[in-house]
A = this chain, B = another copy of it.
Amino acid sequence: MQYIDGGVTAPQGYFATGVACGIKKNGDKDLAIICSEDVAATAGVFTTNKVKGHSLKLTMQRVKDNGYATALIINSGNANACVGDKGDADAREIASKAAELLDCRTDEVLVASTGVIGIPLDMEKVLAGVEEAVFGMVADGGHDAELAIMTTDTVPKEVAVEIDIQDERVVIGGMAKGSGMIHPDMATMIAVLTTDANISKKLLDKAMREVCATTFNRVSIDGESSVCDMAVIFANGLADNAGIVKEDASYRLFCETLEKVCLYLTKKIAADGEGATKLIEVTVNGARSPEDAHLVCSSIATSPLVKTAINGCDANWGRIITAIGYSGADTDPSRIDISINKIRVCRSGAAAIFDEDKVREQLEKDEVLISVQLNYGEHADRMWTCDYSEDYIRINGSYRS
């Protein structure tokens, strides 16, 4: 497997672009199209929030009912969510307009939307943007598409890899926006994966679920989960590999590769959390059950006190063990060991003897690894998050106004 240049247009047969249709007041790009030459198998993972954006609901439905798609239209700056019936109609109209211009079936067009919720889309601008995007899309337009879906992101998040599957070169590309689950009202996280692999719809769906569970579903910026979060994948089969149709070595290779792509984007999202100065990885081992491992991981990764301590380069393991204690997981506090960047700071639930300066040195790095060994079972989990800085408050106190 090898990383290559590009993002969603790196695999064969994809076109994309991003245009500025006037939703973002500063004139930045705010509408993206990603389109496959041939109709592609598709799969998706969607927010579990009970409140679901109108565009997201339509896409969920189409992925479920149909499982094939040609294009995806994403607008940023104003999410199509919580505006009543008009929101559902708008989602359908965006798809219809694109389908008409692309000369495909309307249910082959998916839609996504990110930005402030509760304000109806300015459809005149959006529809003009769809037209401009369809006519402007190009085979190397992935980067422009990425730019058009960014909101408070400070860096674009794109990746592509190539791999041999069934003796053919297969490429998987991806892009993402959003600072993890930090921005529920901005529809937070959208990830788009594309591949030219030939894979059955059913296995594509299975691969997507498995991979998202350990990547995008393991990033948390502030424990919030948005109404428009989605990750979708297109697989158009143009690589001409024989076909991944059963859970064999080729399927596993595909999954492993997809996981690398998603993991890359996941870390980028976590590290780009609003106001973040560091990427934090939390690993938990020795839990009695997978659920307990996840509870502990999640409790640490969402603890504001842990995240502010890391921001202040403070080896405050007391906050970590406290978060473990209230996680709801079955643990024995007197068995817990905690390390920060491999330096043991807590042994058997009490202070370990460690060199404060050495730990501070580690905490000043861009990446901090918090490792917890519960010594209470066989199960593990890991998550990614970022520190909390004063900028987090600044950004979120004034976002909407």
Give the residue name and chain of the B residue nearest to A228 (CB). Answer: B322
Tell me if A25 counts as interface (CB < 8 A to partner B). no
Residues of B within 8 A of A318 (CB): 81-82, 116-118, 184-185, 400
A390-B390, A401-B312 known; A322 vs B51 contact (CB < 8 Å)? yes
Distance of A52 Cα from B83 Cα, bound (Å): 47
Q: A6-14, A123-131, A154-162, A345-353: which lies at the B interface? A: A345-353
Of residues A119, A316, A393, A399, which shows the largest number of chain B Cβ atoms within 10 Å of its Cβ?
Answer: A393
Residue interface bits A182-193, CB-to-B below 8 A is 1, else 0? 111100000000
Residues of B within 8 A of A46 (CB): none
Give the residue name and chain of the B residue nearest to A328 (CB). Answer: B50
- Do B185 and A305 touch (CB < 8 A)? yes
Q: A168-176, A219-227, A236-244, A253-261: which lies at the B interface? A: A219-227
- Do B397 and A312 touch (CB < 8 A)? yes
Distance of A33 Cα from B144 Cα, bound (Å): 67
Tell me if A384 counts as interface (CB < 8 A to partner B). no
A308-B393, A351-B118 known; A319 vs B51 contact (CB < 8 Å)? no
- Do A185 and B322 touch (CB < 8 A)? yes
Distance of A311 Cα from B390 Cα, bound (Å): 13
**Segment 344-371 of A: residues with Cβ below 8 Å from B:** 346, 348-351
- Do B396 and A305 touch (CB < 8 A)? yes
Tell me if A198 counts as interface (CB < 8 A to partner B). no
Q: How far apart are A212's CB and chain B's nearest CB, in angstroms?
A: 17
Q: How far apart are A301's CB and chain B's nearest CB, in angstroms?
A: 13
Residues of A within 8 A of B (CB): 48-52, 81-84, 116-119, 182-185, 222-227, 303-305, 308-309, 311-312, 314, 316-319, 321-326, 329, 331, 333, 346, 348-351, 388-390, 392-394, 396-401
Shortest Cβ-Cβ A-B pairs, 5 listed? A312-B397, A51-B325, A308-B396, A184-B322, A117-B318
